[in-house]
Structure 1
Amino acid sequence: MSNVESYTATAKWLHWGMALIWIVAWLFGIVAVHWRDEFNPQHQLTFLHKAMASVLLFLIVLRVVWRLTHPSPAMPATMSPLMKRGAFAGHLLLYCIALVGLPMSGWYWSSVADKPILVAGLFLLPALVEPDQSLYDLAKSIHTYTAWLCGVLVGGHVIVALKHHFIDKDRVLAGMLPGRATDAPS
């Protein structure tokens, strides 16, 4: 059990920064695919979507290293062991599917389609596989369905955080909010 009351300032910056990038990239991706003719005829939203989402592949490495080297606050004593295991599983799913799987599936789709990914507008990612138009529909489906699953996971994460704050009235959400006096050292 950790005796830390709050996440470090660095952990908070990584959490909220990655959350902002993820949500904006997710929204751009949804609009770029589902309202392509209306809002993405020149594929500028697709370019922005890829530029932002690809950054997550690099930030997740930093985030995992930080998380493994800096303890997180203990779960409230009022949480049952089953709920604590559920919280661990939920966070693991968010890391694996939303922060790794979704960007990787997009990278795969772009590779299959022979479309470049310019990370933050700075450098190109190499293709994961050789272009193969016969895999295009499969790659698109994997990325699209993974994106919707991630939307559900992130929505659930937000709902549970709000439940902790407003119903349980514990410090789970407060421990991740920026600017709190209880910040652990960076």
Structure 2
Amino acid sequence: MSQARGYTSAAKGLHWISGIIWIVAWIIGFVAVHWRDEMNPTHFLTFLHKAMASTLILLVILRLAWRVTHPAPRMAETMSRSMQQAALVGHWLLYGIALIALPVSGWYWSSVADKPIMVAGLFLLPPLVDADEGMYPTAKAIHTYVGWFCGVLVVGHIAAALKHHFIDRDAVLKRMLPGGSH
């Protein structure tokens, strides 16, 4: 398969939709846990967090299918070899941890807690495992620590994109913007 010249509109759309949902779900999850009594007494924020985050699982499947059939464009020639390798590792970490491990760890936590997950408010995800009160603290810790690590990854991804745009003044960010150059 040949290397693409630029990102397709579908790839850009999936990127931005996934990114926005991820960030909003992360913020809602943070608020739902840390201000549970004040801002989440009815657990509506928890429901919303789960509905949004579980939707990411479906979007990731679409993104991976799209990527397999539509290769990513070459990295900018202005990037050093080590910067290109760092970008590749960063993107794999974002896919593997932020878009797969984090939603699955939340699904696992909900499963051991015997709490349902409605995908986009449309249908229930089946539990990954049987309910197990003894695993609740471990499942919560896994999801929490993975969430914080992902927050750092996403902030790093955004910072790198802004660095390319404002400091390096190359087209890396523009290539992913809707209507941006290929």
Coarse TM-score class (shorter-chain normalised): over 0.9
Number of the residue aligned with 1:126: 126
Q: Compute the displacement of 1:179 (Å).
A: 1.9
> Alignment identity in percent?
64
* Distance (Å, rounded) in 2 between the aligned partners of 1:77 and 1:27: 35
Number of the residue aligned with 1:37: 37
Number of the residue aligned with 2:13: 13
Q: Secondary structure at 2:172's aligned position in 1?
A: coil
* Distance (Å, rounded) in 1 between the aligned partners of 2:59 and 2:129: 23
Cα contact 1:111–1:127 (8 A) shared by 2: yes
1:52-101: per-residue Cα shift (whole Å, max 9, x none)? Answer: 00000111011011112112221121212111111100000000000000
Q: Secondary structure at 1:127's aligned position in 2?
A: coil
Q: Compute the displacement of 1:41 (Å).
A: 0.5
* Distance (Å, rounded) in 2 between the aligned partners of 1:13 and 1:77: 24
Q: Secondary structure at 1:41's aligned position in 2?
A: coil
1:141 partnered with 2:153: no
Q: Secondary structure at 1:173's aligned position in 2?
A: helix
Cα contact 2:4–2:70 (8 A) shared by 1: no
1:103-161: per-residue Cα shift (whole Å, max 9, x none)? Answer: 00000000000000010000000000000000001100100111111000000000000
Number of the residue aligned with 1:179: 179
Q: Compute the displacement of 1:2 (Å).
A: 3.1
Matching residue's letter, 2:3: S
* Distance (Å, rounded) in 2 between the aligned partners of 1:171 and 1:100: 28
Matching residue's letter, 1:131: A
Matches within 5 A, 1:99-118: 99-118=99-118
TM-score, normalised via structure 1 length: 0.94
1:74 partnered with 2:79: no
Gaps of 5+ in 1: none
* Distance (Å, rounded) in 2 between the aligned partners of 1:62 and 1:134: 35
- Cα RMSD of the aligned pairs, angstroms, is 1.1
* Distance (Å, rounded) in 1 between the aligned partners of 2:79 and 2:154: 21
Gaps of 5+ in 2: none
Number of the residue aligned with 1:83: 83
TM-score, normalised via structure 2 length: 0.96
Cα contact 1:73–1:175 (8 A) shared by 2: no
* Distance (Å, rounded) in 2 between the aligned partners of 1:110 and 1:46: 11
Q: Compute the displacement of 1:3 (Å).
A: 5.3
